Structure 1
Amino acid sequence: MPVGSAGQRYLDARRSIAPRLVAPLDHAIHHAANVCDDLAQGKDRATVVKNGALRFGVLP
């Protein structure tokens, strides 16, 4: 799935934090797009962070 250079930098940064955040690749891209959608919809910071954590499975 091609993601362009910006997308590749994004994935590389996530991989450097925790490889599981980009596996499987299509899920990582889909979750990232959902976070962008939340931002575009004007959701508040706390909601964007909570939704992102839920999507990427990083909540305690």
Structure 2
Amino acid sequence: MGFGSYDESEQKDQNVETNEDDGVTAHENDHDGEVDFDSDASTDELLDKLSDIKDTS
């Protein structure tokens, strides 16, 4: 079973020069803190809305 043809010369010398300073830091945008959300809706209203959302998906 073949996976198609390829040029073996493309498989040679696959050394890639990289600079670690150009990479992405995984924890660069971590945030510690709190989120406050004010709503005029009651807990029951919010739960009803959540139920409606779950029913439609």
Q: Normalization by structure 1: what TM-score?
A: 0.27
Bigger radius of gyration among the two:
2
TM-score by length of 2: 0.28
- Which fold has the larger relative contact order, with Cα–Cα distance below 8 Å and residues 6 or more apart in sequence? 1
**Structure number having the greater helix percentage:** 1
